[in-house]
Structure 1
Amino acid sequence: MGGVEISDSGPTDSPAQIIATREELENLVRSLARADRLAVDVEADSLHRYEEQPCLLQISTDEETWIVDPLAIGGAGPLGSIFGNPSVEKVFHGGDYDIRLLKRAAGFDFSNIFDTMISAQLLGLPEVGLQALLAARFGVILDKKFQRADWSKRPLAPEMIRYAAEDTRHLLRLRDELASELDARGRMDWAREEFDILSRIQPAPRRPPSWFDVKGSGRLFPRDRAVLQALVEFRDGEARRLDRPPFKVLGNAVLLELARRRPQTPDDLKGIAGLTPKLIDRYNRAILGAAQKGEAAQADPYARNGRGRPARPSPEQIARFARLKTVRDEAARDLGVDPALLANRAALEEIAACPPDALAATLAARLKNWQRGVLEDEFERILRSTGDP
């Protein structure tokens, strides 16, 4: 198959092939259609662009590894027939982000997913990151020095290609070990349910910029929040114009301090950590304009804490929540898994608050089938014995 080969340092590893033309990608897709399974990973530029994009796709079979360059090709569209093919298993590690990104960027559908991070969580392993798993099981040490690199830059150095290839080169072997352990412990059905849910996740639409998303904003006064809202709107527009992540325009800590100061003159911008003289020179008019806009806005909408607070639970609901949590924690301890994996706090709160006639529907909505299999009987006993919320 075509493609530039980049050799790896490992003596038994075959070289990774770079796929950088449409013809090479189409040839690769024809080859992959005959495979039973593939390991897949994506390198993106989320730390360097306003809208992240897939910059590399790493694909490995048991014998070969390819690095697909969608930026050089103009997209990775032909791979959609592989990702949606139920006869080819696609193995990811922590695939939630990658699958959402590929769906948003290319409209891909996915079927027949296996995720090694989810598998490690269901097995209750103490370390579920790929670096830790490969080191513990195979003695493979992943060098993560390019984890925050800008993968959209070209040309890519050979060491970056080697770095990318390592993320999928050992993934199928890890998949086999974890699958065997899931089978042995009777948890493969749990995993299959999680994988099916993973294949159907959808990318969330980008929300408008909001003061509520700035950590620490809940402690501001309403007028300060109005100023902060104007500031985050300015920052978002500038980030879009520059094609940078918003935090690379102005950091959240800077915005919070500006909102507290509510500046009126350039001198009011001095002495803020992170707001350098260069940034003041560049943005002082825009910052002061945003502050003025916030001062003129209605403050009433900012008197509430963002999205509103839920109703205070009754003493009975609090007691039910405590009993549900105890059952959840004991079951998690017996299974050797993280309690939140069985049922998170939000699910427990909603179940504790539901009336008896909505119990079955609430359990079905808030718990997955495998979670209900572990918890449902005890949860029903608690809720039916304590009556209406």
Structure 2
Amino acid sequence: MATEPVTPDAPRLELRDPLPPVVDTVAALDDTCARILAGTGPIALDAERASGYRYSQRAYLIQVRREGSGTHLIDPTAFDGLVPLDTAFDGNEWILHAATQDLMCLAEVGLYPEHLFDTELAGRLLNLPRVGLAALVEHYLGLSLAKEFSAADWSTRPLPEPWLVYAALDVEVLVELRNLIDADLQQAGKREWAAEEFESLLLFQGPPERKEPWRRTSGLHKARGRRALGIVRELWQARDAIAEERDITPGRILADASILEIATSPPHDLNGLKGMRIMRNRGPRRFVGEWFDALERGLALDEQLLPTTNQRVDGPPPPRAWADKNPVAAERLARCREVVTSIAEANDLPTENLISPQLVRNLAWEPPTEVTLESVSAALTGQGARRWQVGLVAAQLTDALGTASS
């Protein structure tokens, strides 16, 4: 989670109970499950990964807190799975902050929610200016929550005690926070909206897979021409294979800038590659043979197999190109955006939480053959809009589409 500024004089959140030991044996896990079963109310959860260090997004520590049970710090790497813990949760509501960050790694160890409350998403629906965990703790409880270890290498063993304190604090007040936010949602008339949003998270399967993930290489615009792009693709794929095999984040093996340097000024032979400045560091130099093989593959690719210079995208092109490619659609999009902004302001919502911007672009680019309230509502629902969202925007979007295309 990103660090957010807090009020300098706000008192620091402290643990109310002694720091618990890390659960890393079957006996300790059985005891944890028994304690959680004996507790009451919803269950606060968090997970720590090692995204900046590891290729995988697995959880390296899972924090659990429940009223009457206390806090538990569980090392998931010590077990084949955590199905007993899932059973102990017994269908109770989970409280997560930014649930989409943790749901996949929790599912990987056998933990699946039946009901949940996402404090970050709830904060967005309330249109709060800052919705990070530290900001919400400060806003609702007047306490500061340090986030100094959010980007730590949580695959480290043993985990240092200050890190464990930090991890325990992330669930220390989640139950209280949930109750205060829930009261605000009810007062704002947004509790049913939140319930639909939380229900949709139960089906979350992670972000959609990119067809050409190598195009996310930072600075790709520097690769001029299809041949250079082909080299970038080969180097990126070679790096990704090494990173996955060794479970190391790709950028620690070969930086994006180094990929671009090789692709834009390809050396003539292996010695030339070894002599490049970027190969002086031990990390890239360890795999210089793999980089040279990838370079040769990129140079040898048939013209027809080279990637195009235009990025392939699913759905409509970037809106900046609409005026030239489809001016009628550009007009529709402008009117739809005006409608969305107006409705969001009237309901005190961020526009992106009122309705997905991509969904609006899809609708404006290719509206239903017959623009009616029913057809627009169906199009919105078919692309994942929730009932409350459709109820707020469908009628006015129908008018905007009809007016713009008339």
Distance 2:289 2:268 in 1: 10
Displacement of 1:304: 4.4
Aligned partner (choices 160, 173, 179) of residue 176 of structure 2 = 173
Amino acid at match of 1:91: I
Aligned to 1:160: 163
CA deviation after TM superposition for structure 1 residue 207, in Å? 6.6
Tell me whether 1:46 sits opposite 2:58 in the alignment: no
Give 1:338's aligned residue.
350
**Residue 263 (1) aligns with residue 255 (2):** no
Partner of 1:143: 146
**Structure 1: gaps (5+ residues):** 1-8
Aligned match of 1:364: 381
Q: Please, which of 179, 194, 203 is the counterpart of residue 197 of structure 2?
A: 194
User: What CA distance in whole angstroms lies between the structure 1 residues aligned with 2:193 and 2:110?
Assistant: 27
Q: Which runs of 5+ in 2 are unaligned?
A: 1-11
Shift in CA distance, 342/275, structure 1 to aligned 2, threshold 3 Å:
farther
Kindly tell me: are residues 361 and 304 of structure 1, through their superposed partners in 2, closer, same or farther at Cα, counting changes over 3 Å? Answer: farther
Residues 205 and 142 (structure 1), Cα distance of their counterparts in 2 relative to 1, 3 Å cut: same
TM-score scaled by length of structure 2:
0.85
Identical amino acids, percent of aligned pairs: 27
CA distance in 1, matches of 2:33, 2:163: 24
Q: How far is the alpha carbon of 1:331 from its aligned partner? A: 1.4
CA 1:131–1:258: 2 relative to 1, 3 Å: same
Deviation at residue 243 of structure 1 after TM alignment: 2.3
Structure 1 residue 126: Cα displacement: 0.1
**Aligned equivalent of 2:4:** none
Determine helix, strand or coil for the equivalent of 2:202: helix
CA contact (8 A) 2:231 2:295 kept: yes
Which residue in the other structure is 2:220 paired with?
217
What does the per-residue CA deviation read over 1:278-307, in whole Å, with 9 as the maximum and x for residues that have no partner?
356433333222111100112334124242
Q: In 2 relative to 1, CA 40–263 (structure 1 residues): closer, same or farther, beyond 3 Å?
A: same
Which residue does 2:363 correspond to in 1? Answer: 351
The residue matched to 1:36 in structure 2 has which SS? strand
Q: 1:334 to 1:77 in 2, by over 3 A?
A: same
> With structure 1 as the length reference, what TM-score do the two structures score?
0.88
Which residue of 86, 89, 94 corresponds with 1:90? 94
Amino acid paired to 2:72: W
Distance 2:137 2:157 in 1: 29
Aligned residues: 376
Q: 2:72 aligns with which of 59, 66, 85?
A: 66
Q: Is the 8 A contact 2:336 2:360 kept in 1?
A: yes
Structure 2 CA distance, aligned partners of 1:203 and 1:108?
A: 15
Q: Which moved more, 1:184-193 or 1:283-292?
A: 283-292
Alignment of 1:1-389 (within 5 A): 13-18=16-21, 19-34=23-38, 35-63=40-68, 64-83=70-89, 85-86=90-91, 88-103=92-107, 105-203=108-206, 210-220=213-223, 221-265=225-269, 266-267=271-272, 270=275, 272=277, 275-279=279-283, 281-300=285-304, 301-308=306-313, 310=316, 314-352=326-364, 353-357=366-370, 358-366=375-383, 367-387=385-405
Match of 1:146, SS state, is coil
SS state at 2:20 partner: strand
Q: Is the 8 A contact 1:55 1:151 kept in 2?
A: yes
CA distance in 1 between partners of 2:334 and 2:303 (Å): 38
Q: Is the 8 A contact 1:356 1:383 kept in 2?
A: no
| Partner Cα separation in structure 2 for residue 341 and residue 124 of structure 1 | 9
Q: Does the 8 Å CA contact 1:110/1:200 hold for their aligned counterparts?
A: no
Q: 1:381 to 1:101 in 2, by over 3 A?
A: same
CA distance in 2 between partners of 1:11 and 1:381 (Å): 53
- Equivalent-residue separation in structure 1 for 2:405 and 2:388 (angstroms): 26
Change (3 A) 1:10 1:288: closer
Q: Which amino acid aligns with 2:161?
A: P
More displaced stretch, 243-252 vs 11-20: 11-20
Distance 1:244 1:235 in 2: 10
Tell me how large the CA RMSD over aligned residues is: 2.5
TM superposition shift of 1:256: 1.2
Deviation of residue 143 (structure 1)?
A: 2.3
Deviation digits for residues 35-76 of structure 1 (CA, Å, limit 9, x no counterpart): 221110011222222223211111112351111122234432
Cα pair 1:16 1:67 within 8 Å, conserved: no
The answer (yes or no) to whether the contact 1:212–1:218 under 8 Å persists in 2 is: no
Label 1:281 to 1:245 Cα distance change in 2 as closer, same or farther (>3 A).
Answer: closer
Classify the secondary structure of the residue corresponding to 1:61: strand
